[in-house]
Amino acid sequence: LPHHTGVVSHVAVDIGGTLAKLVYFTREPDTADNGGRLNFLNFETHRIDLCINFIRQLKEEHEKRNGSARDGLCVVATGGGAYKYYDRLKEELNVNILREEEMECLIIGLDFFITEIPNEVFTYSDSDAEPMQYAEARPDVYPYLLVNIGSGVSMIKVSGPRQFERVGGTHLGGGTFWGIMSLLTGSRTFDDMLAMADRGDNSAVDMLVGDIYGMDYTKIGLKSTAIASTFGKVLRLKNDAEQGADGEGSIRGDHPSESSEASHGPKPNPEDMSRSLLYAISNNIGQIAYLQSEKHSVKHIYFGGSFIRGHRQTMNTLSYAIRFWSKGEKQAYFLRHEGYLGAVGAFIRRQP
Ligand code: ADP
């Protein structure tokens, strides 16, 4: 239910593969013209009915306040769902739906956050006393790379206001983490998954440089704690456990009644797998982002999309990857409203 008493004038919704992001403006009835606030919320896309109901309530409120619905509520839609659900939105809301192109909205939203909103953009590094530092506005905004980590990942080079090109992406994204995590751990919500990753120790399942070398691999500049292979230790651990259970050297199957559990091995701890998978996805995206930034001569890399969700390990991994590969030449930036770039862009583009 709308938790406000203000007058709603304008709603934008960015309907992605996983989440529908809603942004709307409310104006307190008795304040000056431009006094108001932006509200942010999201719904799971598979419950688009809840999202539509919410917008319907905003619409009814709008009509109530405005007497006759002379100026109907303005609903702007972007993302794939603006196409997939277009007819449904139109019919069920009985309003005109204005559609806007997704990448354009992302960039307009990001430009707005970078140039207009103080305390929105920040850098992150766990090795600093104060890991989160708000970024000063830079006079040289362009060019930059936007890496949007939603269900999938898009990388967009922006060369000037509304001048952009999608240069690449990867399908190993937030949806991959979300899907594989549900298989591995049985957790059902994204925040549970992140909390599990917080508690885990990836070295229990990942093969580290130290597992191979027994020490740092100094010549190459790899610390013993560097990950050599994500999940690379899992089968080895299972085999060890089996040998332990069956007695050294015994061949599994000799005692089928006793070995049925051992033949599946002990399942690695879900927390450890969560941490490992979070690192795998974030490191991979960080490295591809770095390579794209090199290819397209860009120094500043902004990470957006709901996958990030202000999570420390995710941001630290992305930030570390950019600093490590660029030898400190390039910088990763994050946003407080990272999931709402597209919705804010759609909102601004059709601002009355
Ligand atoms: P899309 O536009 O593709 O839906 P988003 O930017 O909304 O992409 O990001 C979706 C991703 O964000 C999911 O794949 C998941 O990794 C993560 N995520 C964050 N919050 C949630 C949530 N409440 N439910 C599901 N996934 C979430």
Distances (CA, A) of 7 to 25, 28, 344: 8, 6, 18
The rounded Cα 255 to chain-centroid distance in angstroms is 48
Structure tokens at 105: 């909205």
Distances (CA, A) of 213 to 209, 223, 240, 273, 279: 6, 10, 19, 23, 21
- Whole-angstrom Cα distance, residue 203 to residue 272? 8
In this predicted structure, what is the pLDDT of residue 236? 82
Residue with tokens 């830079």: 138
Over its length of 352 residues, how does the chain's per-residue pLDDT go in tens digits?
444 456 677 899 999 999 999 999 887 766 665 678 899 999 999 999 999 999 999 999 888 877 655 678 889 999 999 999 999 999 999 998 999 999 999 999 999 999 999 999 999 999 889 999 999 888 899 999 999 999 999 999 999 998 999 999 999 999 999 999 999 999 999 999 999 999 999 999 999 999 998 887 778 788 889 999 999 999 887 788 777 755 444 444 444 444 444 445 678 999 999 999 999 999 999 999 999 999 999 999 999 999 999 999 999 999 999 999 999 999 999 999 999 999 999 999 987 6
The rounded Cα 9 to chain-centroid distance in angstroms is 29
The rounded Cα 306 to chain-centroid distance in angstroms is 3
In this predicted structure, what is the pLDDT of residue 256? 43
Q: Is 282 in the pocket of ligand 1 (CB under 6 A)?
A: no
d(CA 150, ligand 1 centre) in Å: 6
The rounded Cα 154 to chain-centroid distance in angstroms is 11
In this predicted structure, what is the pLDDT of residue 29? 66
CB within 8 Å of 269: residues ≥ 6 apart: 200, 204
Q: Is 151 in the pocket of ligand 1 (CB under 6 A)?
A: yes
Asked whether 62 and 4 are in contact (CB, 8 A), the reply is no
d(CA 32, ligand 1 centre) in Å: 36
Please name the amino acid found at residue 251.
I
Residue with tokens 């093969």: 207
Q: Which of 274, 306, 311, 314 to mutate to test the pocket of ligand 1 (most atoms within 8 A of CB)?
A: 306
Q: Is 80 in the pocket of ligand 1 (CB under 6 A)?
A: no
Which residue's alpha carbon is nearest to atom 1 within ligand 1?
16
d(CA 314, ligand 1 centre) in Å: 14
Asked whether 330 and 147 are in contact (CB, 8 A), the reply is no
Asked whether 12 and 78 are in contact (CB, 8 A), the reply is yes
In this predicted structure, what is the pLDDT of residue 243? 79
- Whole-angstrom Cα distance, residue 335 to residue 123? 9
In this predicted structure, what is the pLDDT of residue 183? 96
Structure tokens at 136: 């000063």
Asked whether 313 and 277 are in contact (CB, 8 A), the reply is no
Percent helix, percent strand, percent coil in the chain, to nearest 5 = 45, 25, 35
- Smallest CA-to-CA distance from 180 within 319, 265, 288, 284 is with 284
In this predicted structure, what is the pLDDT of residue 32? 60
In this predicted structure, what is the pLDDT of residue 237? 79
Q: pTM here?
A: 0.90
